[in-house]
A and B are shown apart, each in its own frame.
Chain A
Amino acid sequence: MSERRPTEATDEELVRRHQQDPAGEAGRDAAEELFERYWERVYLWCCRRVGNHDTARDLAQDVLLSAYQSLRAFEGRCLYSSWLFTIMRHRCFRALRRPSLVRDEEVEIDRLAIEATPADSALVEQEDEQEVLHLIRQHLDPVEQAALWMRVMERLPIEEITRRLKIPAASGARGVLQSGRRKLRAALERRAQQQGDGDL
Chain B
Amino acid sequence: MSQSCFPPEEFGRILGLPPNAPERVHVEKCPRCRALLLTYQELLEDRSVPAGANLEDAGTRLRAAFRGAAAGTSGLAPRAFVPAGGPTVSRLQRWVRDLTHGLGRLPVLVPAAAAVLLAIGLYAGYQHFRSDIGPDQLRGTEPSRETGSVSIPVVEPHGEGADGVELCWRTVPDVSTYQVVLLGEDLGELTRLPALADTTCRVRWSDLHPSPAAGSVVGWQVLGLRNGAVVARSPIGALRVP
Contacts and interface: CB of A to CB of B under 8 A. Distances in A.
24 contacts: A40-B47, A40-B58, A44-B53, A47-B52, A51-B50, A53-B53, A53-B58, A57-B62, A58-B79, A58-B192, A64-B62, A64-B66, A65-B65, A65-B83, A65-B85, A68-B69, A70-B85, A78-B9, A78-B13, A79-B13, A81-B44, A86-B8, A95-B192, A129-B1
Contact of B62 (A39, A85, A137): A39
Contacts of A84: 43
Nearest to B209: A94
Interface of A: 1-2, 28, 31-32, 35, 39-45, 47-48, 51-58, 60-66, 68-70, 77-86, 88-89, 91, 94-95, 97, 129-130, 133, 136-137, 142, 145-146, 148-150, 153-154, 156, 164
A47 to B, nearest CB: 5
Nearest to B191: A95
Contacts of A91: 84
B142 interface: no
Contact of B52 (A51, A62, A81, A146): A51
A28 B70 contact: yes
A112 B140 CA distance: 45
Nearest to A152: B35
Contacts of A148: 31
B104 interface: no
A95 B12 CA distance: 24
Interface of B: 1-2, 5, 7-13, 30-32, 34-36, 38-40, 42-44, 46-55, 57-59, 61-63, 65-67, 69-70, 77, 79, 81-86, 191-192, 194-195, 207, 209, 225, 228
B84 A43 contact: no
Which of B2, B31, B70, B85 has the most chain A CB within a 10 Å cutoff? B31
Binding site of A, secondary structure by majority: helix, strand, loop or mixed? helix
A78 B12 contact: yes
Contacts of B61: 57, 61
B57 A65 contact: no
Contacts of A53: 52-54, 57-58, 228
Contact of A150 (B1, B13, B35, B63): B35
Nearest to A81: B12
A82 B37 CA distance: 10
A83 B63 CA distance: 21
Which of A88, A94, A149 has the most chain B CB within a 10 Å cutoff? A149
A153 to B, nearest CB: 6
Given A47-B52, A79-B13, A35 B35 contact: no
Contacts of B34: 146, 149
Contacts of A133: 1-2, 5, 30-32
